[in-house]
Amino acid sequence: MTKSDNAPNQAAAPPAFATRNAGDPAFWDERFEKGFMPWDLGGVPADFEAFASAMAPCPTLIPGCGNGWEAGWLHARGWPVTAIDFSPEAVASARRSLGPAGAVVHEADFFAFAPEPACQWIYERAFLCALPPAMRAGYAARVAQLLPPGGLLAGYFFLDETRGGPPFAIPEAELRALLEPAFELVQARAATGSLPVFAGREQWQVWRRRA
């Protein structure tokens, strides 16, 4: 995969920020405005591409999409994809980065947004770990509401025992307790090509919605 010329400088020292609440869109607006996006690969990750390439296109939702590289990749291949972010600056950045494919990116709150058509895959990429831990139960309830039986929650999960963030790591046992009431874990393995902020603590996981 060739890294985009628009990719942020991952080695840059973090600038000063006024907003500290990751549950506030202004927190993310500041980071996009200042170009500090250590979670942004600047392209499509290999695990995602391999997984999607083995599937038939299906309605897909990408919450917390940031620059939306994966949304652009799916759109180019004819997938019905919807990407959302609650940060106006993130949405504007994605639309600039994706060109015509930016039409699939919308400013919306994941906890209130209902995609049309209903999604069969929710792609997780640096969204759960961006949420303050107090919002995790709401995340689990919402993904269960949005996916039909057999639907997939698949993507990258940031696993660790450490606290603080974002990114907010989640212990593996806590993730299982969060999702297992509504989902069964069908695949889990170490992610490939992780960015430094996630390195060694990221798994590619596939969860299937229970009947």
Intra-chain end-to-end CA distance of the chain, in Å? 37
If one counts every other C-beta atom within 10 angstroms of the C-beta of residue 49, the result is 14
Q: Can you give the pLDDT at residue 2?
A: 32
Does residue 186 lie in a domain region?
Answer: yes
Q: d(Cα 181, Cα 7) in Å, to the nearest integer?
A: 38
Q: Which CATH number is 49's domain given?
A: 3.40.50.150
Q: What is residue 7's predicted lDDT score, i.e. its pLDDT?
A: 45
Q: What is residue 10's predicted lDDT score, i.e. its pLDDT?
A: 45
Does 176 map to a domain? yes
pLDDT value of residue 174: 97
Q: What is the pLDDT of residue 11?
A: 45
Structural domain contains residue 17: no
Domain range for 90: 25-209
pLDDT at 12: 52
Nearest to 199 by CA among 190, 207, 187: 190
Residue 93 lies in a domain: yes
Question: What gap in Å lies between CA 61 and CA 194, rounded to an integer?
Answer: 22
| Alpha-carbon span 105 to 144, nearest angstrom | 22
**Does residue 18 form part of some domain?**
no
Residue 79 inside a domain? The answer is yes
Cα 43 to Cα 8, 101, 115, 168, 199: the distances in Å are 11, 14, 24, 22, 17
pLDDT at 16: 85
Residue 7 resides in a domain: no
What is the chain's pLDDT, residue by residue, as a tens digit (211 residues)? 333 334 444 445 678 888 889 999 999 999 999 999 999 999 999 999 999 999 999 999 999 999 999 999 999 999 999 999 999 999 999 999 999 999 999 999 999 999 999 999 999 999 999 999 999 999 999 999 999 999 999 999 999 998 889 999 999 999 999 999 999 999 999 999 999 999 999 999 999 999 9
Q: How many domains does the chain have?
A: 1
Q: pTM value?
A: 0.92
